Amino acid sequence: MAKGYVIGQIEINDLEAYKKYPGKAQETVEQYGGRYMVRGGPLVSIEGDAPLSRIVVLEFPSYERAQEWYNSDDYQAVIGLRHAASYGHMFIVEGHDG
C-alpha cells in the first residue's frame, strides 16, 4: 500500500502565536500513525519560484489515513492556531508504491 504525504508551504507571520501549534499538531499526527519527515529547516529553491519560507512534509501509512488525519476532529480543533499565525498551501499526495 502506498503511503500518504502531507506537504505544506508555510509563511509564519506571528512566531509567538505559532509556537502554540506544533506540539498540539504533532499529537494528532501521531494518533493517525503519521510522522514528520521535514519540519522547517534550511531550503534552497533550485527551479521556479521560491516556495514560502517553511516546508513541512508528513508521512502517513496511507493516502486515506492522511486524509482522515486532516479531516479529524482532533486536528480541526488545533488548525485554527496555525491559521491565526501563518498562511500557506497544503497538499495531500499519494506516494509511489513501485
Please tell me whether residue 84 adopts helix, strand or coil conformation: helix
Q: What pLDDT score was predicted for residue 97?
A: 83
> What percentage of residues in the chain have a pLDDT greater than 70?
100
Taking residues 17-28, what's their average pLDDT?
96
List the strands of the sheet with 35-39, edge to edge: 35-39, 54-60, 4-12, 86-94
Q: What is the DSSP string of 10-31?
A: EEES-HHHHTTHHHHHHHHHHH
pLDDT at 98 over 80: no
Residue 80: all three cell numbers together? 485554527
Domains and CATH numbers, the chain: 4-44+55-94 (3.30.70.100)
Taking residues 16-40, what's their average pLDDT?
96
Give pLDDT tens digits for 47-90: 998 788 899 999 999 999 999 999 999 999 999 999 999 999 99
